[in-house]
Each structure stands twice: as C-alpha cells, then as structure tokens.
Amino acid sequence: MKKAKIYIPNKSPMQSGSGKTDKWILEYETNNPTNNPLMGWESSNDTYAELKLEFPSKEVAINYAKKKKIDYEIIEPRKKKTVKKSYADNFLR
C-alpha cells in the first residue's frame, strides 16, 4: 500500500504575501531512495515519487486518498504569529 502526505507547501523566499498558499498537496513518499553515482542526485525507481497532486481543500485531498485506498498522513500548517510594527518604535527605545 502506498503512503502519502497531505500538506500546504511553504511559500517561496521570493514571496512576501500570502497569495497562493491555500492549495493542499498530496505527495507520495519515496520507497528506497538511492544516490546516483554519477551526479550524486537522489533517485528512485518508484514513479509515484514524481507525482504531486494539488487540491483546493484538505477535505478533498482526504476524500481522494480514501477513494484510492492510500494511507496518508496530514501535516497541519503552523499558525503564523504576526507582530505589528511601527517605524516610530525604532526611536522609542
């Protein structure tokens, strides 16, 4: 039985806003990854490792995994703590 993880991907370092962070990804876990002796890259004979499925919500991803009888693990996103800052705070201390 294949095992997959369902998660929201991190934003790119070039991305400052919170756009495009609402999609959920179902990604299969790689079985027996090996290092390519020529280039040093990680490789595998498992073609499922190349699949990343996008879903609009967590529930849709879970329903897909249940329908296809895929064992899955859900990785919940961490809550972000935002600190409201003001330019004047630089001079008050």
pLDDT at 59: 95
Domain that holds residue 40: 3-92
Predicted local distance difference test score (pLDDT) of residue 1? 61
Q: Name 42's Cβ contacts closer than 8 Å, sequence gap at least 6.
A: 33, 34, 35, 36
Residue with tokens 């809550």: 79
Going residue by residue through the chain, which has 93 residues, state the pLDDT in tens, using 9 for 90 and above. Answer: 689 999 998 877 776 776 667 899 999 987 777 887 888 887 777 788 788 999 999 999 999 999 999 999 999 988 878 788 888 888 886
pTM: 0.71
**What integer pLDDT is reported at residue 5 of this predicted model?**
94
Euclidean distance between CA atoms 43 and 36, whole angstroms: 6
The structural domain count of the chain equals 1
CATH code where residue 23 lies: 3.30.160.190
Is there a contact between 46 and 27 (Cβ–Cβ < 8 Å)? no
Instruction: Give the number of other CB atoms < 10 A from CB of residue 3.
Output: 13
